[in-house]
Structure 1
Amino acid sequence: MALTHTRPGDPVDVQPMGSRLATEPTKALFKSDQLELIRLVLQAGKSFPPHQVLGEITIHCIEGEIDVTVDGESHILKAGQLLFLKGGTQHGVTALQDASALVTIVLKP
């Protein structure tokens, strides 16, 4: 089954999830030819393993606290903080608290 993404022009709620955070999944919000936006949701202690993507990315912590490891170096992001990474940068994410973040990926053809 194909994922349903947000259509161009449709508003998307990206406010903190609060009490829903423990039950909401990670979700791709939209994907175009050039850009993808994902709402990453991780419970405390869970992680997204180290990986890399071709395009530049941003990771914007909306709530909770996450540890973004970039080329082996730890960067703690709290709610409201954002991290920019160049394409091809090795990175992983671990939730220090239940957390959600917006991940923006610039796609390269």
Structure 2
Amino acid sequence: MALKHAQPLEVIDLHATDETRGTAVSSSLLKTPHLQLMRVVLAAGHALPEHHVPGEITIQCLSGEADVVTPSRTCRLASGTLVMLPAAEPHRVQAHLDTLLLVTVLHP
């Protein structure tokens, strides 16, 4: 079964609690040839291992608290804050509290 992605002009509830949007799981919300939005859910103490993506990204903290760690810097994100990473920047994400992130990826 293919992932259900939102369509242009479709309103997305980032705090949705129904099973289709994945209350406690990460999900891809929208994907076009140039843009992808992902809802990333991390429990306190959990992490995304180091990785990189080809395009620029933003990581916005909707709730909770997490560190975005790059080879040169650690950025603490709390609710209402975001950070932008250059294309191909290696990074990992470590949650300190139960955390909800909105990740935007620009595809080159």
1:42 corresponding residue in structure 2: 42
AA paired with 1:61?
Answer: C
- Taking the aligned partners of 1:16 and 1:61, their CA distance within structure 2 comes to 15
Q: How many residues align?
A: 103
What is residue 65 of structure 2 aligned with on the other side?
65
- Whether contact under 8 Å (1:16, 1:100) holds in the other structure is no
Q: Tell me what 1:89 maps to.
A: 89
Gaps of 5+ in 2: 18-22
**Partners of 1:56 and 1:86 in 2: CA distance:** 5
1:20 aligns with none
C-alpha distance in structure 2 between counterparts of 1:71 and 1:16, whole Å: 34
Across the aligned residues of Structure 1 and Structure 2, the Cα RMSD in angstroms comes to 1.5
Q: Which amino acid aligns with 2:4?
A: T
- In the alignment, what sits opposite 1:6? 6
Single out whichever of 69-78 and 58-67 deviates more from structure 2.
Answer: 69-78
- TM-superposed CA distance for 1:73, in Å, is 2.5
Report the secondary structure of 1:87's partner residue: coil
Name the amino acid aligned to 1:50: E
Say which structure is richer in helix: 1
Find the aligned partners of 2:7 and 2:101 in 1 and give their Cα distance: 21
Instruction: Give the TM-score taking structure 2 as reference length.
Output: 0.89
Q: TM-score, normalised by structure 1?
A: 0.89
Residues 14-51 of structure 1: CA deviation (Å, up to 9, x unaligned): 2487xxxxx52101000000000000000001111110
Runs of 5+ consecutive residues of structure 1 not aligned to the other structure = 18-22
- C-alpha displacement of 1:5: 0.5
Instruction: Establish whether residue 76 from structure 1 lines up as the match of residue 76 from structure 2.
Output: yes
